[in-house]
Amino acid sequence: MELEVHVIHYLIVSTIMMFCGIYGFFTRKNLLALLISVELMLNAANINFSVCNRYLFPDALEGHFFSLFGIAIAAAETAVAIAIIINVYRNVKQVLTDDITDLKG
């Protein structure tokens, strides 16, 4: 199988994903919507790792494994974050960023 798409096109798509994630992370107020933006950013980073591995070092597999571990850690992070969000909902009955100010000094 030959690769016919230039590396820059992959990087442009992942840049769009990354900055959509950053925009959503700062504009959303719902905690779950915030988490969706984080997923977008993590995916963009994973795409970059595997694309750079594939095009620049096609004999190695480091980027591939980095993406693999990145996916596993993203799953762990999501599980813990959703547990925390459900706990927040149980206490204050809504999941907004403005509600979680109790830890402020």
Q: Which of residues 33-62 bind another protein (CB under 8 A)?
A: 33, 35-37, 39-40, 43, 46-47, 50-51, 54-56, 58, 60-62
**Does position 92 bind another protein by CB under 8 A?**
no
**Does position 68 bind another protein by CB under 8 A?**
yes
Long-range pairs of 44-52 with CB within 8 A, sequence gap ≥ 24: 44/14, 44/15, 44/17, 44/18, 45/14, 45/18, 45/70, 46/70, 46/71, 47/10, 47/13, 47/14, 47/17, 48/11, 48/14, 51/7, 51/10, 51/11, 51/14, 52/7
- The site string for another protein over 4-23 (x = CB under 8 A, - otherwise) reads xxxxxxxxxx-xxxxxxxxx
CB closer to another protein out of 76 and 103: 76
